Amino acid sequence: MLESARLLASAGADFAICPDNSAHLAFDYVERETPIPWLHIARVVAEEARRRGFRRVGVLGTRYTMGQGAPVYSKALTALGIETIVPEDGDFETVDRIIFAELVDGVLKDASRQAYNRVIARLAERGCDAVALACTEIPLLVRDNESPLPTLDSTRLLASAALRKAVR
C-alpha cells in the first residue's frame, strides 16, 4: 500500500483510496508513513451510517474483515457511536466461503443470494438496523431491494467519496 501511495504521489495524485477492505487491517501502519492522505473505506461507511441514522451495523466480508469483531469497521463505527455486529459462527463461515468459493470467480448463485439474505435477517434479529457490505464482491450478490436490512456498499460509498473529494 505504501509503495502504491508513493507511486501515486510521484505521479501527482492528491490522495489515495483502497477498495480492499481486508487490506485496511494494515492501514494504521500505512497512515503513519504515507506521502499523501487516504480515504479510509470504513470511515466513509461509518460517516454514511451516521448520516442515515443507523445505530447498530452488521458487517459482512471476508474472514479477515469480520474476524476478531471486525476491527477495521468497529474502530470507525465506534468512533461515531455506532455498534458493530458480525455474523455468528455458522453464518460467519457461510459468508466467507461464498466469497472465496464463488464470488471472487464471478459465480453468482441464487442459493447463495438467499443464504446471504438469511444471514442479514439474523443480524436484524440481533438488533442491527443496517448491514455493511464490506467486500467488493458482495454487492454482486446482495440486492438492496431484497435485503432484509438497508445496505452500506463499501465500494460504492468509497468511490462516491473519492469523486466528491477529487472535484473539490
Give the CATH number of the domain where residue 121 resides: 3.40.50.1860
What is the tally of structural domains in the chain? 1
Report pLDDT for 29: 85
Query: Which is nearest to 42 in space by CA: 166, 155, 167, 160?
Result: 155
The tens digit of pLDDT for each residue in 42-92 reads 999 999 999 999 999 999 999 999 998 789 999 999 999 999 999 999 999
The tens digit of pLDDT for each residue in 10-32 reads 999 999 999 988 888 888 888 88
- 73 and 45 Cβ atoms separated by less than 8 Å: yes
Report pLDDT for 161: 98
Report pLDDT for 61: 96
- 84 and 152 Cβ atoms separated by less than 8 Å: no
- 72 and 79 Cβ atoms separated by less than 8 Å: no
> What is the pTM for the complete model shown?
0.93
Report pLDDT for 142: 97
Q: Which three cell numbers stand for residue 92?
A: 460467519
Report pLDDT for 68: 87
Report pLDDT for 26: 83
Report pLDDT for 23: 86
DSSP element (H, E) containing 17: strand 16-17
Report pLDDT for 24: 84
Domain boundaries, position 121 = 2-167
What number of helices (H) and strands (E) belong to the chain? 8, 6
The tens digit of pLDDT for each residue in 140-154 reads 999 999 999 999 999
The tens digit of pLDDT for each residue in 115-147 reads 999 999 999 999 999 999 999 999 999 999 999
